[in-house]
Structure 1
Amino acid sequence: MSQNRRLSRKGVSPLDDFAFLSRQADSPDPDTVGEESEVELLAPEGWDARNIAALVALSDAQPGDQLHAGHVLGELAELLSQDSEVERDEMLASLLHREAAPVAAMWRGAPLSSQKTRPVIGAEGLTDALYTLNAAEMGQAAANVGARVLAERLEAVALACVNCDGADDECFDPRRNRALARAVRAARRDGAPDPMIERAIARARQGLITPEQGLFATPQAPELPDVQLDPAFFEAVEADARLADGESARAVMNRLSEAVWTHGRPVLHFTEPQAVTPAAIILNLARFVREQTLDEDGLAYAARLWGQTAAHQSGSLLLAGLGASLTALALPFDSEAARDRAQHILRIVRSECPAPVSLERPDALAAGLIGAESVGVHPPAALDAPGGRQFAACVNAALSALTQDEQIGARRHALGAGALAGHSANWITQLENAGVDQAGFARIDAALSDGVPLRFAINRWSLGPEVARRCGLSPEHFDEAGPRLLEKLGVDPLEVVAAERYVHGAGRLDDCEILSPELRAVFADPAPEARLAMAEACEDVLEGTASLELALPGSSSIEELGALIASSARRGLTGLSIRREGDALYDLLNTIEYETGDSVRRSVIAEERVVERVVEKYVERAAERRKLPDRRKGYIQKSTVGGHKVYLHTGEFEDGELGEIFIDMHKEGAAFRSLMNNFAISISIGLQYGVPLEEYVDAYLFTRFEPAGDVDGNDSIKHASSILDYIFRELAVSYLGREDLAQTDPHNYDPGGLGKGVEQEKLVREADPASLISKGFSRGQLPDNVVMLGSRPKPGKSEDAAEGSGFEFDPKPKSGGGSSGGAHVERLEDHIVNYHGDPCPECGHFTVIENAGLLGCDACGWAGKV
């Protein structure tokens, strides 16, 4: 190239033309934290956070380093300039102006990585390839899910063995270990192979609980080749003809469209794929647009300068910012003027550049250093610039002809104010009257400036408890409201939407009334056909691929995608890559998981139709806290776990469901006791908000930490791996009927289901009802006719039992005696009663006795025939 200068001056360092400011940037090393993890950098004024972060990463800066951007870029220019002073100065000035940047490999002196030629198939082999793609995708998903299920089942088998308190010949025998039998049945039901179940039991005997290695090692899916479709294929599709292999062309096209719509693969080619030269230098075309005018001479100079460097590295000159340059020129993307100007820009570069020119997707770090605002043939990805509530450079250039007030208005419309300040609404005045001071609004605005949505920025912590009290909301109501707090305070939803738009902006400019219709068209999101037209125009100049990548909305149909494929082929494009976006479904799924989870109650509404079918409709409701009665039932279980005394207190709702727990321990330090107390409070709150007890049991069962060991004082649990394991075993046995978690037979103990405690002899099978019902809770109102029902006698004793009962029905309280129901309890202790099994038609109790063809109720005295 000639030795003339464009950005530099002879005898003057390019660094003298820039003011350097000290900036802080995070180290690229993710393992470093704290103050020393930052890198101090002297960067040119005007560089944003993205440029600085890219330079730190490209220069391999270490935590605590102090860098000078001019020196780092000067060394790079010295390396690339081939001992030419003019080239060195011009390269350094161009780098500082962020016009161009070498790819990451050239910064480290590594060779450019050439892309391997991908295999390509035609339409004839497409059916089998698509089947392989679908099978691989579904197979991997099924393998991952199956691996998790299999791991859980095999681990449950092993735990059923090691948690058994019996002898070895009992614990590892499913015929004698009921918990193991249930685990084996569950594993086989879910498809676990019998040899793996046997090995899980054998491994448990050796003390190995975790499943075998390699369970999650799913095989890698085969690589899907690219697909080349020639014009003859599309003619066959139009004519509904058959291909050479006998397949219907239209059916193959439908399967291809479905696969691309589903998986975003395969990549399509409409001509013979050409070898791609690896990129060496990235040139930012948007940096050559100033005041809505293209600097053609500067672009030609830069194309020669950096094209020569790329050619010397056997690489290509990759162009970025084509769409951003069209925006800076205030040209609507979907217009003939924009396509003509894009062709003109590409002709200048191609005529001056000695290296191949490409529109591939650029290297992320190099693109970040030059601040590329668009890639390939696409328009800018965003209106705003990184690191602040400001427009991107190309947007500012497009709006440069407006007055300052109009530019401020457009910025407010698209990006919002970032704060509530200046927004006039009645509900803001009401918050002020309720006691929200300037500090409260400052907290809200601070959250909004960090990008927090308005609905989440206004919460109980930003408003304060006093405001809640004045607004008539309890702290519980604050928590229940969540992001609907403003509506809970009486704010109209439309006013909330207006406030959100004021704070966060509309995110677009094509509907901004301040702009003229012509200027609004500049910021309109182009349709896929407009992108195809731009790619066609660019490929005519490049005589190569534009590497078009289309991202369709999630609402796009398979038919629409197939039409785009056919349109691309008709336009003569070299290739196309299409994917369908998830339509924000992934965020929606996370939102549903976070906002609902298992705590949401689902009420079932049955609707009867004329055809006498019942349709169930599930209605999602916000989680509500279920209040416990002020005077509540429950029990206290005293036990010793590994020598440590544990008192478990329970509180129940009116229907007998568990609503709260308290845990008391006396040998531990204050810190451990406080943690256990607060843990119990959190569990209680979860139970009252609807979290099923089963979820807590599954979460905390088999947890292992000290104290652990033998359990004394509990009739169902004899060993626990931790305090939490013991507590949730006890709750599962008592409230969920989980006999599989009991380590003794529950039928050997009292029917009331309570632990026998340390003094087991105090409670016998046919106990006094007064020993099972709290006298304090009932305040002495225990009825005298409450009896403790005995078990059904063994066969052969029913007649004696019935005969001994004598059918002496006396529901009235007996006079005398100090204990409630003493006569009945005494009679039942003398004779085991065989009850009939049907409820009494008078009182509903299951105390009906049959004798000699007659029935009688032992509770109310009813008598009748069989």
Structure 2
Amino acid sequence: LMGFLKIGDRAAGAIKSGGTTRRAAKMVIVDADHPDIEEFINWKVLEEQKVASIVAGSKMHEQKLNAIFEAIRVWDGAEEAAYDPASNDTLKAAIRDAKKVSIPETYIKRVLDYARQGHTSIEFPTYDTDWDSEAYSSVSGQNSNNSIRVTDAFLKAVEDDVDWDLINRKDGTVAKTVKARDLWDDVGHAAWACADPGIQYHDTVNAWHTCPEDGAIRGSNPCSEYMFLDDTACNLASMNLLTFYKDGAFQADEYMHATRLWTVTLEISVMMAQFPSKEIAQRSYDFRTLGLGYANIGGLLMNMGLGYDSDEGRALAGALTAIMTGVSYATSAEMAKELGPFPGYKKNADHMLRVIRNHRRAAHGEVDGYEAMNVNPVTLDRANCPDQKLVALAAHAWDEALKLGEKHGYRNAQSTVIAPTGTIGLVMDCDTTGIEPDFALVKFKKLAGGGYFKIINRSVPAALEGLGYGSAQIEEIVSYAVGHGTIGNAPGINHTSLIGHGFGQAELDKIEAALPSAFDIRFVFNQWTLGEEFCTKTLGIPAEKLNDPSFDLLRSLGFSRKDVEAANDHVCGTMTLEGAPHLSEEHYHIFDCANPCGKKGKRFLSVESHITMMAAAQSFISGAISKTINMPNDATIEDCKAAYELSWSLGVKANALYRDGSKLSQPLASALVEDDDEAAEVLETGSPMEKAAVLAEKVVEKIIVKEVERAQARDRMPERRRGYTQKAVVGGHKVYLRTGEYQDGKLGEIFIDMHKEGAGFRAMMNNFAIAVSVGLQYGVPLEEFVDAFTFTKFEPAGMVQGNDSIKNATSILDYIFRELAVSYLDRTDLAHVKPEGVSFDDLGRGEEEGKRNFSEIDGARGEDPVEVLKKVVSTGYLRNRAPQGLMVVQGGAGAGATALAGTENPAAALQTLVPEVSTTIVAETSAVAVTTSMDARTKAKMQGYEGDPCGDCGNYTLVRNGTCMKCNTCGGTSGCS
């Protein structure tokens, strides 16, 4: 089995899903009694261990092998003795160190041979744990959602600690006998270590199966909400529950009308749909399954002043789910009256009516009397539902569904599921997706012109008003979360205290202008906001301190850490409601989210709250629920097993766990912390958000600053210059972009030509290009143009053809400046497909980052090969990527030869002339770039996101969405949605 799974995994990785950049949506499900189940459970665990080995091993090789070269280089004795460990003690120690970390002796010998041939260093490719890195690409199992199918018999065997037989698939004989509890321990460990496999409860799923005469349900789609017979499919549709909440009440009549309407619409879509194979088309027609569901239950509950983890919240969710499915089945029966039941209904009629009766019993709150079920469902909590009208409507809906079904049958074998609704949720303006709670109380909206602004979840003011808080109190509570955006009356640091340090009105105005979009006030108090002259002359800070990435201007002025934190909370907000003025602690639970909110937030929804919410809705869903259970980093293996067992006992059909930090690609909070006593204390005893705050403080000033020499006069282009031409089609319109470069490779001019456009539009684009070119030549940084014109929206726009990195654009200008940013600034975050080749500033080489990967042979003469390269090749054309075919021919002016470091083919690559330095002049080493990247991840975690970049747009705005990840910026998902 595993060999074939690895083939499928490679195929999925190559084919992708839904285009060129989306990861494959592939589900792999293995039964708990399969002979290969042990290997399958631990598949991803072992593959992630391989990733760790590749990362650590590659860096050890890079370090230890170059230490051997260094030991030979510093030898000051006879030349021949330099290569002899018996004579060169430093070399002997370097070889011993290499052997201690298990570097193969053959490779050590190869390095000595390189050294004897005149080479002075080697570049050994190093890897990192980024999700899209070569390390992950080289292992298997990364392109699928893995689940195992467990039966009631297996879980009983776990409870009783008895043996469990693994059965051969061909002849039904016993292949192996294992302890059920040992196998279950492996499941718990795998889920804890790498978030796979998920669990599907086979007997629970099939107890609700409406068509067992046609076979058992054996699998699901990747997100696990659609569970039915093999080779069937359904179309999904979701209703935004919050749109039915008006004037302080849920409009049940409108909700029922929408349910009827969408049931009919989805039935029509069965006839209109296209399917990937004849078998799927035929069986989907025979059973006519529908996928109606809802989204934004979390937003609705918060608006109504109900906690996600409350009896009232679960009762309301159960009632709304019961109404939706009951009305949908009743509508299906009405359509069966007119059109006849689905073709497979006749032989499955008794089974389907049994399932409908069980649904009806749950809606009436009955605790027994269920037919052919090992695990009774969670019934509708009629007593705790805040709206008794909904309880009555739910019971009536199922009465009608059963009565009409007994008379006419049903047009559809299934009618409802709860899908992740990731992308559609954005389109419908949902605060939350599917059955999920909110992930954060404060949202960060990106502005088209760059920057962002903070807004409170719109459910918060509505909930506070419903709870009886006054408008002035609500305003103060909201300001506590999002900040006041001004330092005027802030505690500790304000206008008065700053004037006392020499700040004038001009400086205060600059600070106030920058504060609304600041994530931390320390980003504002620096030389780039205040001006270098003011900082050095008025504040008396030496220039070398200002240029130190670790320099804290506020602390240097004498403000304490507490002063800074207090002012920061006042200006930028705490991003939580815990501790907010006027807010009663008894209302805190209403605003609990999936993750702790902000730096001070400690509250978050428990694992049990997620599972019990699923159970409240599961009894009234035809299919299943796509949802990931978020677990804190300190959750244990036992916690994972307990979560799976609780789900089974409550009748949930499927469950997937995600423990924070369980993937190697997710950064941990302690990664950047220095040995600071106070930081160590916070990291030992603080909450996850407090830990993130420590890290944010340490990296707050560690930003890359490009030194731009602002010329007083126009820096005119040379008469003969390099550049490149890029042809592309944007929204069906041909665009030619031509560039011109200075001698040092900097962009100096652009030309834009539109094919077959009207004279007026072409003239506008030509003159716009001239204006940009003049700006560039007068010293306006390209970065400013990129920030100003990316994400501008006007026609023509849409898909981009002919560009290998940019696949869609919101306008011609958006495309032009994305292309320039990728080619000249290495802004791969604006590319949809990262440019091929090794970047000059790719991360992962530690302190070696930014250094050239060649060493000059002693006595080398002539020009620096880097400068030669810049003179003959267009910087933009190369896109800051290494030209792998460029070689130096040894001979001729041999003294000017250069020895280069090796890569995959060391003997050949030692001759490759490729400097690992960016053609953009950066004032910090890439070690700082690593810090900056981690800073972005840390900030994302503090904002409630997962901390990983989106594979489509590069923004750090990914949130959990069922078993997948969804980007709140572009709407992209890591799987199906």
TM-score (norm 2): 0.44
TM-score (norm 1): 0.50
Higher relative contact order (CA 8 A, sep 6+): 2
